[in-house]
Structure 1
Amino acid sequence: MKNRTSEWLREAKIVSKILSNAPVLDSNKDLHSFYLFQGLLSLPGIR
């Protein structure tokens, strides 16, 4: 379980790094975070 979590966190860091480099309007931040969260849920190994 711990191994899977660290793997998930590594994925999340990569995704957030990519997204932080992408231009995002402030007004869209919440929506953006929501989609990021949805995207993380769909990563393999989460379920």
Structure 2
Amino acid sequence: MEALLSTAPDKNTITGPVILAGAGLGTGLLASAAWQLDHALGLTFL
């Protein structure tokens, strides 16, 4: 109850950009792997 009545913590301005960059990096890596597999195996998906 004490935590609910106290003041809110300061905003964290680092977390959002870090999560966005991580998601973008992960998506780029997966897309690159799919592209490489497509060309290596001669598939026609992409």
Instruction: Pick the TM interval, shorter chain.
Output: 0.3 to 0.5
The structure with the greater share of residues assigned to helix is 1
Bigger radius of gyration: 2
Greater relative CO, 1 or 2 (CA 8 Å, sep 6+): 1
